[in-house]
Homo-oligomer: A and B are copies of this chain.
Amino acid sequence: MRIIVQKFGGTSVATKQRMLVALGKVRKGLENGRKVVVVLSARAGDTDRLLALSREWSADPDPAEQDVLVATGEQVSAALFSMLLRDAGITARSCTGGQIRILTDGVWTRARIQSIDAQVICGLLQEYDVLVVTGFQGVTTDGRITTLGRGGSDTSAVALAAAVKAELCEIYTDVEGVFTTDPNICARACKLDRVTYDEMLEMASMGAKVLEIRSVGFAKKYKVPVRVRSTFGDDPGTLMAQEDQGMENKLVSGIAYDKDQARITMRSVKDVPGVAAAIFGPLAEAGLSVDMIVQNPSRDGVTDVNFTLSRKDLKRAQAIMEEVRGRIGGVEVLYDANVAKVSAIGVGMRNHAGVAARTFACLQAENINIIMISTSEIKISCVIEEKYTELAVRALHSTFGLDAPEAS
């Protein structure tokens, strides 16, 4: 059985007119005898409305019941879309997460998919040409409703595609695909035709909002080809797939940035064993996730420790660091909420030297001071003063040859 999965986001199902546009995509999906599993988000605004309702009802809404409440949003979308399909003469039905046994753990509001019963789905696909599945949700083994957290419909779609061995997972959204950088700050950003899972993982975690990061991890793990494209046009969008060995990869595929950054500096820390644990142990215990860590080589037995974390965690981190400072003594702690991270990402840099040097030279040419640096196999990230973010992104975009040709 040839199956494709098509996921439509909230803006693509917001109105009847938009759903009819999505229906056109389903018709195309059905060509060549394929079956289509449609995965829907709640209609734009519905999830926010339901969350607002829960906050109106309770200062601290029970998370299990919040999931029961919020899950109605996708159920509404799925029912309405199935009505349209049936009116169009397509054999279709809606399926909730529970009905097709999308099993998750019991971590309310951000559950993780454990398994999907492909047999149930394939059995239904004998009877129906299209199944319309509620995204974003599943059930625990004892049948309680869970939700996967924001953006969870992407994960639902990719996980379903993996389970039924779909030939393609199409993510329909309101953008044309994955871009070399954020078009809002760089007018010459281009749509990418292809992107690898690894590049996308770096881009998603760096704030590219096209795909939820968990869905990218899923796609990579199960080698699901994913096409990100717009509901409101015919552009083929961006194909996310494995690295294509036969092709020359571009050195850098995209420039990402993240303003949700804060930096903490500990000056004059005694460079003795156990000091890193004394600093980062209490942060980890508090559930605060540290991003970059840079420690200068020791001089006169003391060193500086620099690290970054999410800006919204800074206040909690400050309280913890003051305690740490009291314990280890003689240390000065500085906090800086006005930093951002810019990154150049590309699988091509694996086989090419000099990307780091070009990055630094580019920023230096713009008089942008690099506060911290971290590198991975396919990424170079620099922490800079936040006010330079847009300038840095545009400069790097140009340096690595990503700029679209100027409009004539």
Contact = CB atoms under 8 A, between A and B. Distances in A.
Interface of A: 16, 19, 50, 53-54, 56-62, 64-66, 68-69, 71-72, 75-76, 78-80, 82-84, 86-87, 93-94, 96, 98-99, 143-145
Contacts of A65: 79-80, 82-83, 86, 93-94
A84 B98 CA distance: 25
The listed residue with most B CB atoms (<10 A of its CB), out of A16, A65, A76, A78, is A65
A283 B165 CA distance: 53
A246 B64 CA distance: 50
Contacts of A58: 83-84, 87
A80 B93 contact: no
A56 B72 CA distance: 19
A282 to B, nearest CB: 31
A59 B59 CA distance: 41
B75 A69 contact: yes
Contacts of A78: 68
A70 B86 CA distance: 17
A19 B19 CA distance: 35
Nearest to A43: B53
Contacts of A71: 75
A90 to B, nearest CB: 11
Nearest to A77: B69
Contact of A68 (B54, B62, B79): B79
9 contacts: A53-B76, A57-B80, A58-B83, A65-B86, A68-B75, A71-B75, A72-B75, A98-B98, A99-B143
Nearest to A73: B72
A83 B99 contact: no
B75 A79 contact: no
A332 B331 CA distance: 107
Contact of A62 (B54, B61, B69, B82): B82
B54 A66 contact: no
B93 A64 contact: yes
B54 A80 contact: yes
Given A78-B68, A82-B65, A99-B143, A16 B57 contact: yes
Nearest to A144: B99
Given A99-B143, A143-B99, A66 B53 contact: no
